[in-house]
Structure 1
Amino acid sequence: MNQPTFAAEDSLPRVPLPTLADSAARFVRWCAPLLTEAELATTEAAVADVLRPGGAGVVLNDALIAYNDTPGVASWLDEFWPSRYLGRRDRIALNANFIFLFREDTPLASSAQAGQAEQAAALIGAAVDYKLALDEQRIPPVTQRGTPLSMWQNEYLFSETRIPGAVQDTVRKPYSEEWPGPSDARHIVVFYRGNIFRMDVIGPDGAPYAFDDLVDGLRAVIKGGTRPAATDTAVGHLTTKARAEWASSREALRTEPANVAAFDVIETALFTVVLEDFAPRDELHACDQLLHGDSANRYFDKSVSLLVFADGQAGINIEHCGLDGTTVLSFVDALLERSVADHAETSGARAQGLPPVEPVEFVLDSAARADIAAAGADFARYAADTATQIVSFNDFGTSDAKKLGISPDAFAQLAYQLAHRRSKGITGATYESIATRQYRGGRTEAMRVITPEMVAFVDAMLDEAVNDDDKTTAARTAAAAHVQRAKECQAGQAPEQHLWELQWIQRRRGAELGVADEQIALFDSPGWTIMRDDYLSTSSAPSQYIRYFGFGSTSPKCIGIAYVLLPDRWNIYLATPKSVAGEMRSFADHLRDAVTELRTLLAPVEA
């Protein structure tokens, strides 16, 4: 019998808390390749001040140690994650949410009939099957090399909604004090042409509706939403606003009791299904629509939104505060790897007739309508100001990298750095997300890709005086350094989140600790600001059922690089502000060349 889903949580090792001296020293090493001598000297002085006995840095770190030792605290990062994700004040639509575009030939899609309603019904039935299995803890813990990984993020998959706040957002979810245990909701929310519908997917006795029932329910939604909702009535637009502004709008709407009930339907829904009334032009268009699309037909605060286009192509949009890519990939794989009939059998789905379907309507005055229309127009402009591109290598994947004797991820990062220098003429700060779910409450660690060895590799590649043997040595040395740094991150030996949490503690508890007014030079130092000002933000999502993974850029000059690197292919989605679109396209061109060049350089010499 499989181990219960959450059985291993309390026995997992805790996230290590490095000493302040270790994090300080590692931080200096990590930022040094990006700094001038003067900038490094300034940063070193700031780091020394953080370590000063009795200084604010030590006081804050002592508070963090005490918190980590508090009974009931799973990790010293327990308060960091809400601060980082729920504390952000900009819009989450396009800036934080991420997407996957599904393959069209998955077992689930292939077993469903052709058509939008059929493909959407297949996804709904599979998701409900997963939900019921999760309720009974029949989802076995994911393992990595035989070690179980943390599964707590699964609590955020169903009936979770991010609630905007004036200072920091909150989360409405099951498995909480306010809502103990799994969600008891039996409905989802379906969007079509900006119209919102509640649709039951689980019957009164707890049995899921059969596939044909769900198809009929979705057809009823499509018929009921034939007329597009007026732009100034589509409340989904408001979820694209900066968080404090959205919080104000939501509170204004909630003065009307009918709106409180409407929000309740949306916020407690198991998940959201978005039906689009068009077929995407191509894969890039599909990814773009998954990432932003028409915000009248979205509710970006829901943890899971399954999107199905008119031609049956599908994907997912994820709200990031409680869900990372690895958890969502496991969920998506579980949905897509089995047929409609298999899911129906394990869930106990049975024919019950047409599921209840009813519109979700808000009472809106002129001020609310103006607010909604303005939010929609503003987000449309924001989305239009984002440039995207896909790059695909159908003849290269992890198998090919391994034949070259190099870590596949290191190969990818070497190619990114070479292409970036050639396209922009500089080496810039680069982020890579490293999963740390082997720890209790683990999420991700922030890896900084630029090592001295990486810089030396790019220098060698651009120096015509360097021969191929030396270039090969530089490439393999940089790859080894990359792998070593990734291992440090996986082992909880990365400096950034540790130091960043000290900054958050000062904001939260500075007055209590007597350091509210003490300026900490580290957080204004060149090392801190330059190392974290990303030119490239990278993350991978390996799944055979995913065509593309995508997210937006993180700064006005950043290129977001979301990649699916599999044994036989490598698909990349790039996103950047339109003001630097030319540089992104140059990067894409140079990336193709860099991959070809590296493959030739690293190829074994024929005997």
Structure 2
Amino acid sequence: MAYFLSSHITSTLWKLKPLALKTTCVGSVLAVNQRKYSSKDDAGSEYLHRSIVPTMHYQKSLPRLPVPKLEDTIRRYLAAQRPLLDDENYSNTVKLAHDFQNGIGKQLHEELVAQDKMNKHTSYISAPWFDMYLSARESVVLNFNPFMSFNPDPKPEYNDQLIRATNIVCSAVRFMKTLRAGLLEPEVFHLNPAKSNTDSFKKFIRWVPSSVSWFGAYMVNAYPLDMSQYFRLFNSTRIPKPKTDELCTHQKGNHLLVMKRGNMYVFDVVDRDGNLVKPTEILSHLKYILADPTPAPVCPVGVLTSENRDVWAGLREKLLEAGNREAVQIVDSALFCLCLDEEEMRDHIHISHNMLHGDGCNRWYDKSFSLILSKDGQAAINFEHSWGDGVAVLRFQNEVFKDTTERPLVGPTTPPAPIDSASAVQRLEFKLSPDLEHGIAKAKENFQAAVSKLTIHAMEFKRGGKEQLKKKKLSPDAIAQLAFQMGFLRQYGKTVATYESCSTAAFKHGRTETIRPATTYTQRCAQAFVQQLGQHSVEQLQGMLDACSKYHGQLTKEAAMGQGFDRHLFAMRYLSNSKGMEMPNLYQDPAYTAINHNILSTSTLTSPAVSLGGFAPVVPDGFGVGYGVHDDWIGCNVSSYPTRNVHEFLQCVQKSLEDIFTVIDGKPIKSS
């Protein structure tokens, strides 16, 4: 369920509601929104910048996520089911849906609305969505944690593992301090930056009471986004518990957790006065760790975090009982985890595998996020997904990349501080019982069995991209999604359930909504391109492309406005379960199960900081499709298990994009 990537923005407004902002499992407007800071502010060495407007200034006045009308949800649900079902099954689903709408669904909807009115401090989806993640018992590896890799530093000499790790750690701490001091620029999308992204407006809006500040921003076409997840970025960990995990945040921890060769080290990166430890001292400590000859432990404790959550919960209790309570507490309370790997990355596929799962031993997958540095300086973020949807993570990554490349605190000629790192750095020791040793050995086996089944492949389509599509007034995202529908149809001869994540961060405690890219429009268009070649004119095919684009834009806008159907149906099902009711027939319909078995799980990301991102399929017979539509090219990073052939799928997507761009150019398609 790594629905984390996506940073599209459409400039469509809906009355007084915020703009249609798309994002995944991982999305932030920072990817496209140029942030302007005051040139008069001297951030110094402690902060990234000093925002004129306090970080959480808009939070109190954010609009609330709407509960859609039940009749709209059922209509949208049936529209999404139509391309997936034959006439007989569709008729049955229509009957069940209307019975639900006129019967038990009406009661559940009314109760949901009543609950929502009693909890105006949050959104109706927030608690159920947290619970959905935390009650899942599967390993977080492959099933939940995604990765986003950094672009290389433009200065090659700064990509040295030690130099880059030091600079990234320093910038990460500066981000944390800027956030906690309330000096981090609020997350805002500016439709008219000439008016709203200025010092004069910011000096005005900072004096507008927080309770109405959102409306002041709205008056100049600026749309603040929810930042409630940001406090979970640092000192946070997912704690395994029987049946349902917990999220724990210890804001007083000043230390960094470093992993190398499966060994764990800690040292302070914030001093007693709350200041960033001198960068040359951090450089010295990391150099000491990299040079430490301690061999890899036979029983690396970190691999336990890759286990089934109930299994890990039991082993964690044994770990605590064996006299490791203090060591575990140190790990849990660390600011974040830095993983120093000893491998050099061969190519993008190697990077994807290493950053998505690694070897299982040199990771603590439960930390809110881990920064991973390979031996050749390739860097990435791997993050635990329950606490947030990636908005905060992508913002963090963008800021860290900008800071490390524009204002690095150490360089190739910087000498480490002349201090005794051996006394400042603590290597954690764990006492292991035979049960724990057996559990670690079993976790290693399970991890290897799981990751050995995963295949990742990538594709770059160089013939065109965002600029060409926009000239033809086509949505770049709609065309990419159409290519996936066409590719799957070409490979497997059918249309299947498809998921694309959309952020609802424009609302207080918004999480995500689902865009359903498999539509009657994409089905008709894909069949015309793939199965009915030569039966339609170029003009007719162009008309189909335009129809797909417009409908996808409508779905995107609805989802961003909280007007999809997936979260509403999920919340009513969750409410039904919590009341101990018999499961309504709608949810027992095989068609409902099938549309939530997302064979194509897709997510998009473009950012100046990110080179690629990825995640595993969310079902055993699915594809995990990470993609980006750039100015003049389209890239895909796709994963699969043995049930599917990812290499063939990308060949089919490539052919589909070639055909689409041929038609866009006004030329007929040649048969392959």
Q: TM-score, normalised by structure 1?
A: 0.91
Match of 1:93 in 2: 141
Equivalent residue for 1:236, pick from 278, 287, 302: 302
Give the 3 Å change call, closer, same or farther, for CA 364–43 of structure 1 in structure 2: same
CA drift of 1:466 comes to 1.5
AA paired with 1:488?
E
Does the 8 Å CA contact 2:83/2:495 hold for their aligned counterparts? no
Match of 1:180 in 2: none
Give the 3 Å change call, closer, same or farther, for CA 339–222 of structure 1 in structure 2: closer
Equivalent residue for 1:593, pick from 647, 650, 655: 655
Match of 2:373 in 1: 308
Deviations 1:531-552 (A, max 9, x none): 1111210011120221111001
CA drift of 1:353 comes to 4.2
AA paired with 1:157?
L
Match of 2:550 in 1: 480
Equivalent residue for 2:524, pick from 456, 460, 474: 456
Distance 2:577 2:514 in 1: 21
Match of 2:20 in 1: none
Moved over 4 A (4+): 350-355
Does the 8 Å CA contact 1:98/1:319 hold for their aligned counterparts? yes
Q: Indicate the percent of aligned positions where both proteins have the same amino acid.
A: 29
CA drift of 1:225 comes to 5.0
- Structure 2 residue 76 is matched with structure 1 residue 26: yes
Equivalent residue for 2:329, pick from 251, 264, 274: 264
Equivalent residue for 1:120, pick from 158, 162, 165: 165
Match of 2:272 in 1: 204
Match of 1:167 in 2: 243
SS at match of 1:296: coil
Does the 8 Å CA contact 2:172/2:400 hold for their aligned counterparts? yes
Distance 1:401 1:226 in 2: 55
Deviations 1:483-533 (A, max 9, x none): 1111111111111111111111222232xxxxx2x2311112133112111
Match of 2:464 in 1: 396
Match of 1:190 in 2: 258
Give the 3 Å change call, closer, same or farther, for CA 569–139 of structure 1 in structure 2: farther
Does the 8 Å CA contact 1:195/1:225 hold for their aligned counterparts? no
SS at match of 2:361: helix
AA paired with 2:453?
D
Equivalent residue for 1:277, pick from 337, 342, 352: 342
Distance 2:324 2:319 in 1: 6
Distance 1:211 1:250 in 2: 35
Match of 2:126 in 1: 78
Match of 2:595 in 1: 531
Deviations 1:359-411 (A, max 9, x none): 11221111100101110111111001111101123553322321332111111
Equivalent residue for 1:561, pick from 625, 628, 636: 625
Distance 2:463 2:174 in 1: 36
5 Å-filtered alignment, 1:567-582, equals 567-580=631-644, 582=645
5 Å-filtered alignment, 1:329-368, equals 329-339=394-404, 342=407, 344=409, 353=419, 356-368=424-436
Distance 2:157 2:53 in 1: 31
- Structure 2 residue 66 is matched with structure 1 residue 16: yes
Does the 8 Å CA contact 2:464/2:661 hold for their aligned counterparts? no
5 Å-filtered alignment, 1:502-513, equals 502-510=572-580
Which sections of structure 2, spanning at least 5 residues, go unmatched? Answer: 1-50, 192-221, 411-415, 668-672
Q: TM-score, normalised by structure 2?
A: 0.83
Does the 8 Å CA contact 2:261/2:342 hold for their aligned counterparts? yes
Equivalent residue for 1:245, pick from 297, 311, 314: 311
AA paired with 2:468?
D
Does the 8 Å CA contact 2:64/2:120 hold for their aligned counterparts? no
SS at match of 1:578: coil
Match of 1:178 in 2: none
CA drift of 1:239 comes to 0.9
Does the 8 Å CA contact 2:513/2:564 hold for their aligned counterparts? yes
AA paired with 2:328?
F
Match of 2:29 in 1: none
Give the 3 Å change call, closer, same or farther, for CA 540–325 of structure 1 in structure 2: farther
Distance 1:19 1:506 in 2: 18
Does the 8 Å CA contact 1:112/1:340 hold for their aligned counterparts? no
Distance 1:284 1:204 in 2: 42
CA drift of 1:126 comes to 0.7
- Structure 2 residue 516 is matched with structure 1 residue 468: no
AA paired with 1:316?
I
Give the 3 Å change call, closer, same or farther, for CA 354–27 of structure 1 in structure 2: farther
CA-atom RMSD in angstroms: 2.0
Match of 1:179 in 2: none
CA drift of 1:477 comes to 0.7
- Structure 2 residue 225 is matched with structure 1 residue 149: yes
Match of 2:39 in 1: none
Distance 1:45 1:119 in 2: 59
Deviations 1:541-572 (A, max 9, x none): 12022111100101111100011333244332
AA paired with 1:304?
F
Distance 2:363 2:339 in 1: 7
Match of 1:513 in 2: none
Moved more, 335-344 or 585-594: 335-344
AA paired with 2:608?
Q
Deviations 1:306-350 (A, max 9, x none): 0000111111101111222333221101000124673659xxxx9
CA drift of 1:352 comes to 8.9
Distance 1:368 1:9 in 2: 45
SS at match of 1:205: coil
Equivalent residue for 2:612, pick from 548, 551, 554: 548
Give the 3 Å change call, closer, same or farther, for CA 351–193 of structure 1 in structure 2: closer
AA paired with 1:255?
E
AA paired with 2:174?
D
- Structure 2 residue 53 is matched with structure 1 residue 3: yes
Does the 8 Å CA contact 2:491/2:648 hold for their aligned counterparts? yes
CA drift of 1:476 comes to 1.1
Which sections of structure 1, spanning at least 5 residues, go unmatched? Answer: 175-182, 511-515
5 Å-filtered alignment, 1:123-134, equals 123-134=168-179
Distance 2:106 2:473 in 1: 44
Distance 1:67 1:571 in 2: 43
5 Å-filtered alignment, 1:427-438, equals 427-438=495-506
Equivalent residue for 1:297, pick from 341, 356, 362: 362
Match of 1:384 in 2: 452
Distance 1:574 1:22 in 2: 33
Does the 8 Å CA contact 1:191/1:297 hold for their aligned counterparts? yes
AA paired with 1:31?
Q
Deviations 1:548-598 (A, max 9, x none): 110010111110001133324433211111232x2x211111111221221
Match of 1:102 in 2: 150
Moved more, 116-125 or 37-46: 37-46
SS at match of 1:453: helix
Deviations 1:255-295 (A, max 9, x none): 13x31111111111000000101101111101111001111
Moved more, 567-576 or 286-295: 567-576
Does the 8 Å CA contact 1:129/1:344 hold for their aligned counterparts? no
Distance 1:114 1:474 in 2: 47
Give the 3 Å change call, closer, same or farther, for CA 37–225 of structure 1 in structure 2: farther
